């Protein structure tokens, strides 16, 4: 992609009410743009990252049998009344059609998926079933200072599982836990699995927390036995409830949460099945969320320096940032441009993701500053100096390691 043909302009000054470092860097580097508090537009760079995160999530969900669906966001009031959450879900956005009926904007999808699968699940032969969906969610969150870490409109992946009994639910729950750890690892993150309130039906749910000062959760960690537990559900203590050792308090952002719902929603919607003996039983359910747009922010919170973002490889919008240090005025500049164009063509032909800063009106210094801000994993620089040796400079954003590579060896860097 050429910068001159791309929606790309970095910004030096942004609104002062953006305080989370992820929102500041993502706005300056042109990944996102705030529409109003808690509501963001994703620009081409930001959307590329979102799509990469979604793809990682999709692959890992499919690997454990998940089938993708897309459920409606405009939900009739009756579905939400059936579970009592029309009144009890505090962050529910409600809106009234001019023709009279009331709707909710979906903040989660138990109220939709449970009655939906009633038309599919009849017998034990229809179970287990795993369905997931990736889309916007709406929650009327109080004004926050966390940028895309806490949106009123945000992107979530939610998976729902349906089982014959608790044992099957528990086995699958452990599978999802493992799949989640793979997802965060592929996103370049270390996530702690933290015990949290289980709601009405089980002792614990599990949250996945990434350490960051911008996070809104505090959890206790025991380095001796590995216990992690959210402070919200635990008595104020300095000792591990499992092994008695000293514990520490850590601050994290919740990037995922998994629950055993058991028959909570199957009871509400009468979702039953006929077992092998012909007996009618309630379907056991689990639900498993991942904050996709929050992840975009958390990846940045966990990977930046004074100059800008440092993208982990698998979620970077592009792998290579190609810069020719030319301004298009001098004769030497023409040669640099020609060679850089050539390198661009070679890399593209190889199918690589290259962001080529081909701007002629911008100084070399500015191009380098922008490249650091953008934070693509590898930077390729072609200048008068490198061309004297028929070579280019390859620099890794994360380590600052520089390699000088001959132009003719370009295919070797890949
Ligand atoms: P939180 O405790 O942060 O409010 P939650 O426990 O209410 O989140 P869940 O219902 O468990 O959220 O939603 C699943 C995932 O969706 C969360 O783990 C989080 O990553 C993400 N998420 C939830 N609310 C938001 C939000 N307002 N903005 C962005 N992501 C969110
Ligand atoms: Mg949660």
**DSSP for residue 1:** -
- Neighbour tally for 400: CB within 10 Å: 8
The confidence score (pLDDT) of residue 365 equals 94
The confidence score (pLDDT) of residue 201 equals 66
Spell out, as residue ranges, where the chain has pLDDT lower than 50. Answer: none
Where does 9-305 sit in CATH, by number? 3.30.930.10
The confidence score (pLDDT) of residue 330 equals 75
DSSP letters for 343-391 = HHHHHHHTT--EEEE--SSS-HHHHHHHHHHHT-SEEEEE-HHHHHTTE
pTM assigned to the model = 0.96
pLDDT, tens digit, 9 for 90 and up, residues 294-334: 999 999 999 999 999 999 999 999 999 999 998 766 777 88
Ligand 2 centre and the CA of 207: distance in Å?
A: 7
Ligand 2 centre and the CA of 208: distance in Å?
A: 9
The confidence score (pLDDT) of residue 328 equals 64
Beta strands 32-36 and 67-69 are unpaired
Instruction: Give the C-alpha distances (Å, rounded to integers) separating 365 from 58, 326, 327, 362.
Output: 40, 11, 11, 8
Cα–Cα distance, 139 to 150 (Å, whole number): 9
Homologous superfamily of 318-413: Anticodon-binding domain (3.40.50.800)
Q: Closest ligand 1 atom, CA of 207?
A: 18
The confidence score (pLDDT) of residue 413 equals 78
Q: Is 255 in the pocket of ligand 1 (CB under 6 A)?
A: yes
Q: Where along the chain do its domains lie?
A: 9-305, 318-413
Tell me which residue has tokens 């994703």.
42
369 upstream amide cis, omega within 30 of 0: no
Pocket probe mutation, ligand 1, options 254, 286, 295, max atoms within 8 Å of Cβ: 254
The confidence score (pLDDT) of residue 200 equals 63
Name which of 188, 241, 175, 147 is nearest 49 in CA terms: 188
Q: Is 125 helix (H, G, I), strand (E, B) or coil?
A: helix
Contacts of 26 (CB under 8 A, 6+ apart): 32, 46, 147, 148, 296, 297, 300, 309
The confidence score (pLDDT) of residue 266 equals 97
């Amino acid at each position: 992609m050429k910068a001159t043909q791309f929606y790309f302009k970095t910004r030096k000054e942004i609104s002062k009410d953006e305080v989370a470092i992820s929102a500041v860097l993502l706005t300056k580097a042109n990944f996102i743009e705030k529409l109003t508090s808690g509501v963001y537009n994703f620009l081409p760079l930001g959307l590329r990252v979102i799509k990469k995160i979604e793809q990682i999530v999709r692959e890992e969900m499919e690997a454990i049998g998940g089938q993708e669906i897309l459920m409606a966001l405009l939900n009739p009031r009756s579905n939400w009344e059936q579970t009592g959450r029309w009144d009890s879900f505090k962050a529910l956005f409600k809106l009234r059609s001019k023709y009279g009926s009331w709707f909710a904007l979906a903040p989660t999808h138990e109220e939709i998926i449970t009655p939906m699968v009633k038309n599919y699940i009849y017998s034990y032969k229809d179970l287990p079933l795993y369905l997931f969906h990736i889309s916007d969610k709406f929650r009327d969150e109080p004004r926050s200072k966390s940028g895309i870490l806490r949106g009123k409109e945000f992107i979530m992946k939610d998976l729902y599982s349906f089982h014959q009994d608790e044992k099957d639910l528990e086995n699958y729950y452990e599978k999802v836990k493992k799949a989640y750890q793979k997802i965060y690892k592929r996103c370049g993150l270390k996530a702690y699995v933290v015990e949290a309130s289980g709601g009405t039906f089980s002792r614990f749910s599990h949250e996945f927390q990434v350490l960051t000062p911008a996070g809104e959760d505090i959890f206790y960690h025991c380095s001796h036995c590995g216990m992690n537990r959210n402070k919200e559900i635990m008595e104020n203590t300095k000792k591990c409830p499992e092994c008695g050792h000293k514990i520490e308090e850590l601050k994290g952002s919740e990037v995922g949460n998994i629950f055993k719902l058991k028959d909570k929603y199957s009871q509400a919607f009468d979702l039953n099945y006929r077992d092998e003996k012909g007996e009618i039983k309630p379907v056991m359910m689990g639900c498993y969320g991942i904050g996709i747009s929050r992840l975009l922010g958390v990846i940045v919170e966990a990977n930046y320096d004074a100059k800008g973002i440092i993208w982990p490889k698998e979620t970077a919008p592009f792998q290579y940032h190609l810069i020719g240090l030319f301004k298009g005025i001098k004769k030497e500049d023409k040669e640099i441009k020609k060679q850089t164009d050539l390198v661009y063509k070679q890399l593209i032909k190889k199918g690589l993701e290259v962001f080529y800063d081909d701007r002629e009106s911008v100084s070399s210094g500015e191009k380098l500053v922008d490249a650091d801000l953008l934070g693509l994993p590898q930077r390729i620089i072609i200048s008068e100096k490198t061309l004297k040796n028929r070579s280019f400079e390859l620099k890794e954003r994360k380590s600052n390691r520089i390699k000088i590579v001959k132009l003719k060896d370009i295919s070797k860097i890949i």
